Chain A
């Protein structure tokens, strides 16, 4: 961890247009959950539906994509990463610091709002809010690691990340259920299922599979980003 790099990254991530999007994403979730509560439809089934479909299915991957690639992608693109890399700081420290920043952002703008939305809709019933907060946390940690690794690897990190989150986890998993085994979203649901005893939450992947895979993806992603950064070549932008 390097506090200077962390503060620079935070400042870049919280610039005016980015922060608008960062606030907009969770605001929509909170608005929907308040709407459900106000109209009296906030039972466990509907809350689960909203938190799985909208929270884990859209909000979290988007936030992680924004944070995970945003902490390092633009700097590599415009070559500014050189100014950090030429300092006597180990490259893995740079990538790990940036990773921690992205996780903090995902927790602040994704995990906490998910917990709040859960509480708004169901209170603490059946541990639904806690379950989804924990599921979102582990999924966010893994997503960030994956997207950081892709951001260091390719200039098209955002598009590749989107293809993973949308085509693999959404489209292919719908028609070929086997794809769900390798889906971070399903691992998150699995962890949520472990914590909550609401029957509405149904995991397609056993937690004995999900937890080790989560750890593997996270560690591998962060380690790969650090290793790849050591031999990074900065080429021209478009």
Chain B
């Protein structure tokens, strides 16, 4: 009996062991709350809730304008913002939320070298990464899907025509929001996990989004000037929002919201495959990053 050597007479814990599932669940809720600054000082809540409020504003205004227009009888001409276009139109705000909150999830444990404390629990590395990824994806999904749902409720309340089509489009848009959340959360967490220093992670995540998006926009603009439309369409897959919008267009039958649709033919499947590869790749990189994180 080896345990005897260490038994110096303290009382043993003989309560219930909550186990791995409980640890994963706790980590998930903790990180989901942390993404919105809940359970932290007021200062940490300002940014996420401010961005959330700004995200909701266009949807609320759109519903209000439609409702007023319906009252004065101009309802034919005024339409709600398209559900699947919402994330693409407001992408700067979503990107700021992503950049501001990804380091909160991914960098803090690294910065303060506390990962060994997590891994001394019945929690595997993969559990840890998946719990964080899931939590951040959920946080982003809440940010994206809430305004879209407000628009849909607005459509119901103002008694829009073709409510069946509205429902289908809304469901497709919510699926699109989930895809946006999955891709963006993956990218954000990977970049933030490699830049643990405070403030720097925010800039790094932003750099990845802003540079890819503006570079693609510039290439697309130039390619269109030269009437090379296929080049312009293929270029879309190098920017996250254009990529996911391409998948929305192909897989979810949405109208295109990014400047260019995916190329016809194999374009849609390629965009979708790339999306899937991106999500899996991000989880794999995060796993590798956190596998040795406790070493230093």
Contacts and interface: CB of A to CB of B under 8 A. Distances in A.
Contact of A73 (B195, B199, B206, B221): B199
Interface SS of A by simple majority: helix
Interface residues of A, number: 40
Given A49-B221, A62-B203, A57 B198 contact: no
A186 to B, nearest CB: 16
B210 interface: yes
A28 B218 CA distance: 12
Interface stretch (A99-107, A163-171, A203-211, A220-228): A163-171
B198 A159 contact: no
A130 interface: no
Interface string A54-72: 1001110010011001100
Given A65-B203, A159-B100, A32 B219 contact: yes
B264 to A, nearest CB: 24
Given A17-B194, A58-B210, A28 B92 contact: no
Nearest to A67: B203
Given A58-B213, A158-B199, 12 more contacts: A45-B225, A58-B211, A62-B211, A66-B203, A74-B197, A156-B46, A158-B100, A159-B47, A162-B99, A163-B96, A238-B40, A238-B44
A103 to B, nearest CB: 17
Given A53-B217, A54-B215, A66-B203, A170 B92 contact: yes
Interface of A: 17-18, 21, 24-25, 28, 32, 36, 41, 45-46, 49-50, 53-54, 57-59, 62, 65-66, 69-70, 73-74, 77-78, 155-159, 162-163, 166-167, 170-171, 237-238
B207 interface: yes
A25 B218 contact: no
